């Protein structure tokens, strides 16, 4: 059942990305971030009230950190969506699994736990090779900066996923976690948008404006499903099901926007997906080995 929650999350996020693609025609990334947070906040407040879950939390700082890093990841991703083909921006954001593997390897080396991590490091290198191949077409189309921002969104998303898992282990209900993230998105989006003026509504297209509410709703549903999947433990199947979002995004990319990704781009995206799946599998095995090693030495 957890895998189904992740597939649903991937579908909602891919559909949200479609809305962002349309909204980007009139709004900049910080504006979309603000409107996404505001709509999600109202939507989750209704859900929270209906589910009779209290707003009181014993771990406000964990929610604050999850919101801060999550907003950064989302803002970077929104920018990438507006400047790259949908499937490509989705894939770069899903580098998060590879980034988590980087954190695990770095932590193991720092604390001198288990040194036999060559396979895990190999998958990390494979993932970054995929990134280089994926970004090459963006250089030719003057989209390198957007590609690097999309890559950065994946790193921040990895940190956000780790925090979601931590909140679940701390016993936080999914709806409360998503509500506070929506609140943080609204507040931080408002503060960030002060650095770049909002677009006058007289200059906003009807199509872009119509997507603002669906973006917030799809984002809330995606966050809710993802939080539910990860809060019960990121199993291999659950973690790897997130890549179904690339399939949804590819279909949208071709069917709705007629975006053509060069063969080299598809090759790079494929390498990223393969490395992400392998990294998830090997990371789980590596952490078990670390756990066993700690029990032996203790």
How do residues 93-141 score in pLDDT, each as one tens digit?
888 778 877 777 676 666 655 555 677 677 778 888 888 887 776 666 6
Token pair listed for 126? 């494979």
Q: Is the pLDDT of residue 296 over 80?
A: no
Number of Cβ atoms within 10 Å of the Cβ of 167:
25
- The predicted structure's pLDDT at residue 117: 64
Exposure of 295 by Cβ count < 10 A (0-12 exposed, 13-18 middle, 19+ buried)?
exposed
Whole-number average pLDDT of the chain: 82
Stated as kind and residue range, the H or E segment containing 222 is helix 212-231
- The predicted structure's pLDDT at residue 20: 94
Token pair listed for 207? 């199509």
Token pair listed for 296? 């032996």
Q: State the average pLDDT over residues 56-64.
A: 91
Distance CA 77, CA 70 (A): 10
Q: Global pTM?
A: 0.81
Q: Is the pLDDT of residue 288 over 90?
A: no
Radius of gyration of the chain (CA): 19
Distance CA 231, CA 216 (A): 22
Token pair listed for 158? 């990895």
Pick from 275, 254, 93, 70: which is nearest to 180 by CA?
70
> Residue 205 in contact with residue 25, Cβ under 8 Å?
yes
Distance CA 45, CA 50 (A): 9
């Amino acid at each position: 059942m957890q895998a189904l929650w992740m597939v649903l999350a991937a579908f909602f996020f891919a559909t949200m990305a479609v809305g962002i693609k349309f909204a980007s025609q009139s709004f900049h990334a910080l504006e979309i971030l603000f409107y996404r947070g505001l709509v999600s906040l109202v939507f989750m407040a209704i859900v929270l009230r209906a589910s009779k879950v209290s707003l009181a939390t014993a771990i406000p700082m964990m929610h604050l950190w999850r919101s801060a890093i999550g907003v950064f990841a989302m803002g970077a991703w929104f920018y990438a969506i507006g400047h790259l083909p949908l499937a490509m921006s989705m894939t770069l954001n899903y580098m998060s699994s590879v980034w988590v593997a980087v954190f695990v390897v770095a932590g193991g080396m720092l604390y001198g736990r288990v040194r036999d991590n060559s396979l895990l490091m190999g998958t990390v290198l494979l993932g970054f090779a995929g990134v280089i191949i994926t970004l090459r077409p963006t250089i030719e189309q003057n989209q390198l900066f957007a590609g690097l921002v999309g890559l950065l969104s994946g790193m921040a998303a990895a940190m956000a996923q780790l925090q979601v898992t931590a909140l679940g282990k701390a016993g936080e209900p999914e709806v409360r976690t998503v509500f506070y993230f929506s609140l943080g998105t609204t507040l931080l989006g408002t503060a960030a948008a002060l650095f770049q003026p909002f677009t006058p509504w007289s200059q906003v297209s009807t199509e872009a404006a119509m997507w603002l509410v669906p973006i917030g709703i799809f984002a809330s549903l995606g966050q809710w499903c993802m939080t539910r999947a990860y809060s019960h433990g990121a199993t291999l199947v659950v973690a790897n099901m997130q890549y179904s979002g690339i399939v949804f995004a590819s279909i949208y990319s071709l069917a709705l926007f007629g975006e053509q990704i060069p063969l080299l781009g598809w090759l790079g995206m494929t390498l990223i997906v393969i490395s992400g799946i392998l990294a998830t599998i090997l990371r789980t095995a590596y952490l078990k080995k670390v756990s066993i090693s700690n029990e032996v030495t203790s």
